Structure 1
Amino acid sequence: MIASQPPQPQPPFGPRPRAALAMAARTARQVLGSGALDRLSALLDLDPQLVLDDFTIPAARRVLADAELLVTGWGCPPLDRRVLDAAPRLRAVVHTAGTVRHHITDACWERGIAVSSAAAANAVPVAEYTLAMILLSNKRVLAMARDYRTERRTVDWSGRYPGAGNYRRTVGILSASEIGRRVIALLEPYDLDVQLYDPYVTAQDARELGVRQVGLRELFATSDIVSVHTPLLPATRGLVSRELLAAMPDGATLINTARGAVLDQAALTDEVVAGRLHAVLDVTVPEVLPAESPLYTCDNVLLTPHIAGSKSGELRRLADLAIGEVENYVAGREFAHPVLHDRLDRSA
């Protein structure tokens, strides 16, 4: 039986719980720099030089035998039944990134292992990126800058772009995920009308968020910008269909910082090549498009290489949140950012 509620961290076996780092070596260098390893070493009995990216090697078997806690990151192998059999004392996993789907298996939930994630920290830069793109897209900044660079003269910009500007424009948010909610909060100071589609959000939730709740087709048909924040799940693959894209008003913008497979990329390509829609795409399928893809050269498409999430100095925020969760574990407190097994069917 898999518990529907997350187990709570238990008091550690000793003054400093035995722990290990489980992630790609590159991840450890990037995320756990700037003193983060020293802070972890003060809290945990771990070898900061040993980073496990393969649980089958002898060194990993030795460490797993006594480990109470794993600090994981991108590149951590799956914690399957065989790994857990080699880690009989394991009680908790603190993940220094967002989704835990790649390494937390059903066996972990069955064992009652407490899991925490830094998804809340990773949501911050994605929401900031999205806010910037919403404001720039409504203002038609990129198009005007391109024209100005080419023509180098005085132009009646209001006449050329009569719909440009953010005042009372309608922004549609697809999914009140962690990131979606942050975007809604960041939009609050602006004179924008924000509406939301999320089947799990109640009318009371929508009122508290300060958004208008609409149906899926209405979101696309009545928004100047639709920003996609739904996780990629079996039920959401291809959710942004050709029909929904066709319902968007002429000149509207589609922003996707979620996952490329959430939308019908071929249909979106047809719409932007025809010049009817604009798009801001930080994610695609495949993650690096073929060199001949028209999305690279479409003037009405801004294509970025999956940079909305934590990068460079922003990675410190992930480490800080994870270290805070380790401090909670060591003190016997509940995780502040637990991963709830019974919500995995609707979260990333």
Structure 2
Amino acid sequence: MRCAGPPNHFSPRRRAMPSRKRKPLVYIHRLEWNPYEYYMNEENEKLLQSFAEVRNDGNVREPMTHEALVERLRGVEAILSLNGSRAPEITREVLEEVGTVRVAAVSHWWGDLSAKAAEAWRQAGVEVIDASDACNQAVGEWALGAIIAGLRRFDEFDRRMKSGEKWPSWRGVAGQLNGATVGLVAVGRTGRWLLRYLKPFDCRVIAYDPYMKKKEAKELGIELVDLPTLLRTADAISLHAPVTPETTGMIGRKELAMIRDGALLVNSARAALLDNDAFRDEMKKGRFRAYIDVFQPEPPPEDDVLRTLNNIVMTPHVAGTTDAMYHRCGQMAIQAIRDYLERA
């Protein structure tokens, strides 16, 4: 018979294993129109999971009740709002009943829907981070490309060479951005990105923005002017104003007549800034050229005169729409949540 020996009172005790810190819980609310996969590629999935547990309703299609949302949000510390299409379902009352949500990051601002949700979330004591600058960057980049392409007249040379002209002359045709005057109508978030992209070029930037102070304009390296001066002076005019009662139709028949011959008008903001009929009448004269990404209505009718004119380049509301833009939207919002949670 084998006997056990005496207990070894001098053997070291086992050290207790340190408990792992629980990852914070992040909730992704349901979306519509632009699907979850637009924003969350494999890289973004890994980034989010590197610091958080995820409760994901991004692909849920049916509306969610108050009770269902309270249940899904229990224990959640952060909301990842990939776009605001269904963000208002998460009401102030839902968040107050849950009581654990500290922060929400919006990756793609969705107009009034995101604004409505953000207001309710702030009222519930949630810090709302607008992390949607990827879209502004993309639109600013499109505007820069339109200005360069429009001043250099890429489309005109392309059309002439494809129509049988063997070697078009460059004389008296193309301009260039270096040495030009660029006029910005409003210097909001997108306008500021365009301004940043213009920095490497030796161009003069003037702006009409009644809400900007002269001191800020000086710091940004731009000259504030009134709208008539901008329209009469600029080689390229880029619109960046939001649509408000004040700005709707702000570029009307009188203002369009002020644009000098040979200039370039770029609109990546909203069609409502232009008087629709006056704009079409002016473009038929061929005095100046335009690069337009937004229309009223969208899409423009098949018989819209704009589709027939060689002095306008049209793109189908894609200034802010690329695969990279959506992925960057998701990435920037995820990083914003991570940074907030690390600071907290």
Structure 2 vs 1, CA of residues 40 and 139 (structure 1 numbering), >3 Å: closer, same or farther? same
* Change over 3 Å in CA distance of 1:232–1:291 after alignment to 2: same
Say whether the 8 Å CA contact 2:283–2:311 is kept in structure 1.
yes
Q: Is the 8 Å Cα contact of residues 99 and 117 (structure 1) preserved in structure 2?
A: no
Moved more, 50-59 or 144-153: 50-59
Cα shift readout 1:167-190 (whole Å, capped 9, x = no counterpart): 422110111111111211211222
Quote the Cα distance in structure 2 between the aligned partners of 1:154 and 1:253: 24
Equivalent-residue separation in structure 2 for 1:165 and 1:35 (angstroms): 39
- Which residue in 2 is equivalent to 1:55? 64
Q: TM-score scaled to structure 2, two decimals?
A: 0.83
Select the residue among 269, 281, 286 that pairs with 2:297.
286
Residues in 1 aligned to 2:114 and 2:330: alpha-carbon distance in whole angstroms: 18
Residues 245 and 224 from structure 1, CA distance in 2 versus in 1: closer, same or farther, beyond 3 angstroms?
Answer: same
Q: How many angstroms does 1:329 deviate by?
A: 2.5
1:55 match: secondary structure: coil
Per the alignment, residue 138 of structure 2 pairs with 125
Q: Does 1:73 align with 2:73?
A: no
Match of 2:270 in 1: 259
Name the structure 2 match of 1:93. 104
Report 1:1-348 matches (<5 A).
Answer: 15-24=22-31, 26-48=34-56, 51-52=59-60, 54-56=63-65, 59-74=68-83, 76-79=85-88, 83-88=91-96, 89=99, 90-99=101-110, 101-105=112-116, 106-159=119-172, 161=173, 164-333=175-344
CA distance 1:79–1:36, change in 2 (3 Å):
same
Contact 2:188/2:241 (<8 A) preserved? yes
Give me the whole-angstrom Cα distance separating, in 1, the residues matched to 2:216 and 2:297.
35
Pick 1 or 2: higher relative contact order, CA cutoff 8 A, min separation 6.
Answer: 1
* Displacement after TM superposition at 1:133 (Å): 1.1
Q: Is the Cα contact below 8 Å between 1:79 and 1:108 reproduced in 2?
A: no
SS of the residue 1:146 aligns to: helix
Q: 1:50 to 1:190 in 2, by over 3 A?
A: closer
| Kept in 1: contact 2:271–2:296 (CA 8 A) | yes
Once the two structures are superposed, what CA deviation does each residue of 1:279-312 show, in whole Å capped at 9, x if it has no partner? Answer: 1111112221111111122111111011111411
Provide the rounded CA distance (Å) in 1 between the counterparts of 2:60 and 2:79: 10
1:83 is displaced (CA, Å) by 2.5
Measured after TM superposition, the shift of residue 109 of structure 1 is 3.5
User: Alignment RMSD, CA only?
Assistant: 2.4
Q: What is the count of residue pairs matched by the alignment?
A: 317
Query: Which deviates further from its counterpart, 223-232 or 31-40?
Result: 31-40
Q: Which runs of 5+ in 2 are unaligned?
A: 1-20
Structure 1 runs (4+) deviating above 6 angstroms are: none
Instruction: Tell me if structure 1 keeps the 8 A contact 2:181–2:204.
Output: yes
Q: Deviations over 1:145-172 (max 9, x none)?
A: 211221332333304x2x6333422110
Query: Structure 1 unaligned runs (5+)?
Result: 1-13, 334-348
Task: Note if contact 1:21-1:51 (Cα within 8 Å) is conserved in structure 2.
Answer: no
1:313 positional shift:
2.7
Which secondary structure does the structure 1 equivalent of 2:91 belong to?
helix
Contact conserved, 1:18 with 1:45, CA < 8 A, in 2?
Answer: yes
- Rg bigger for which structure? 2
SS of equivalent residue, structure 1 residue 194: strand
Q: Distance in 2 between matches of 1:35 and 1:167?
A: 38
Partners in 2 of 1:299 and 1:103 — Cα distance?
A: 38
User: Percent of aligned positions with the same letter in both sequences?
Assistant: 27
Question: d(CA) in 2 for partners of 1:99 and 1:49?
Answer: 18
Distance in 1, Cα, partners of 2:234 & 2:148: 14
* CA drift at 1:61: 4.2
